[in-house]
Amino acid sequence: MSCRSRLLYAIQAGYKVLDDGSVIAPSGKERKTGNKEGYRSFTINADGEYGYVMVHRLLAYQKYGDRIFEPGVEVRHLNSDPSDNRVENIEIGTHSQNMMDMPRERRWAKAKQAAKAKRKLTEEQVATLRCDHAAGMSYRKLMQKYGISKTAVSYIVNAKTYQEGKS
């Protein structure tokens, strides 16, 4: 069962989120929630199949209805705390808006981590490339030796990328 199906099943069953972010079960009792990757969630048995329902998405559905399922729409935690599901902290918006909800330092850290994961060369190769360039090796030869584009060579030589190893 998909996340969307579980969410809709939970709504139909009578689960709801109060303004303070607590979850109420169909019985009227408060439902305990767990922590799934920093987000509050609870499990339900939907037609014999167990699965998670994310509290922030349930609350967003209560506020915005089917709009949360539109392409490009994300549920946002305005204060960037994924466990804070108070009604005033939950909005919907674009991915860009969601990222801008994060503190600048955290956005930069995520961007650096993503860039590092895509890197083709090791720090040792970068140091060697810079030494080769300093010794007079042309961009064309550097491109061939390291299997990268002229732009990549330029960015490395001019420390626009791989800045950690640059002294």
Burial grade of 76 (CB within 10 A; 0-12, 13-18, 19 or more): buried
Q: Hey, what are 45's tokens? A: 């048995």
- Specify the pLDDT at position 5: 92
pTM over 0.75: no
N-terminal to C-terminal alpha carbon distance within the chain: 53
d(CA 157, CA 151): 10
Sequence-distant (≥ 6) Cβ neighbours of residue 96 within 8 angstroms: none
What does the CA dihedral 59, 63, 67, 71 come to, rounded to 10 degrees? Answer: -40
Q: Enumerate domains of the chain plus CATH numbers.
A: 3-104 (3.90.75.20), 119-157 (no CATH)
Splitting the chain (167 residues) into consecutive groups of 10 residues, what average pLDDT does each group show?
92 97 97 93 91 97 97 96 97 96 91 84 94 96 95 92 64
Q: What pLDDT is attached to residue 164?
A: 64
